[in-house]
Amino acid sequence: MTAVRGPDVPGTTIVSGTDLDDLGAAVAVRLAESGSDVALICPASPACADAMRRLSELPVRSLAIDADVDDPDAVAAAMERVCSALGDPGVLVTVVRPAAPGPLCELSDAAWDESVERQLRGLFLMTRATMEPMTRAGAGRVVTVTRAEGAVRAALGGFTRTAALELAPFGVTTNLVTSAPGDPGDPERVAALVTLLVGPAAAAVSGQVIDVGAVPAS
């Protein structure tokens, strides 16, 4: 697919997460196809390697940084590399995995730390790290994508609305896109919606929780 200039937002796209899954890969490739330079900030994984292979085939610049996004020092170092190699970020997409299966009250301490606390900390650190260049530019897009439900989804919704209120005066929007697992077409629908949210047509859309899913049969 030939790239064309798409998102009318200054800066590089960053796609991050504690684990880049098919949602993150699809979003990264779709935004690169629209003409955005893309940096992946996440631990090394087969999904990250596959996304970079697909990005390398497009006429945009791309970069993959192996980093734990729940580590503030690693995030700071990764951001410095992105800004140096590709320029300041204008779009941040963070992938948040679902929590460990089972009732919340039955989660072990380790499972909570890995699937809830680590995920939310990564989102917070990456969002905080991109705020200075976005607010300075007077434009930016922050989108979180997830298949999480229950307590994690509620926490993400609250974070999204709070960030949207704080960042509105600076021209930065913040939205949450949620999706249920099990639909083979799901990543592409999520990627299409994220592309819309980072474009100029969605400049007034912020603080929203948007569910992506198949329309139920009548």
Identify the CATH homologous superfamily for domain 12-98+108-211: NAD(P)-binding Rossmann-like Domain (3.40.50.720)
Model confidence pLDDT, tens digit, residues 100-129:
666 767 777 787 777 678 888 999 999 999
Mean pLDDT lowest for which of 19-28, 35-44, 160-169?
A: 19-28
Residues 6 or more apart in contact with residue 92 via CB below 8 angstroms: 13, 14, 16, 126, 127, 130, 134, 140, 141, 142, 143
Please determine, for residue 217, whether its predicted confidence score (pLDDT) is greater than 50.
Answer: no
pTM > 0.75: yes or no: yes
CA-based nearest residue to 92, from 132, 158, 141, 134 = 141
Model confidence pLDDT, tens digit, residues 83-105:
999 999 999 999 998 776 667 67
CB neighbourhood size of 56 (10 A): 11
State residue 93's pLDDT score. 97
State residue 82 phi and psi, 5-degree precision.
-60, -50
CA–CA separation, 41 and 21 (whole Å): 12
Domain boundaries, the chain: 12-98+108-211
- CB 159, CB 120: distance < 8 Å: yes
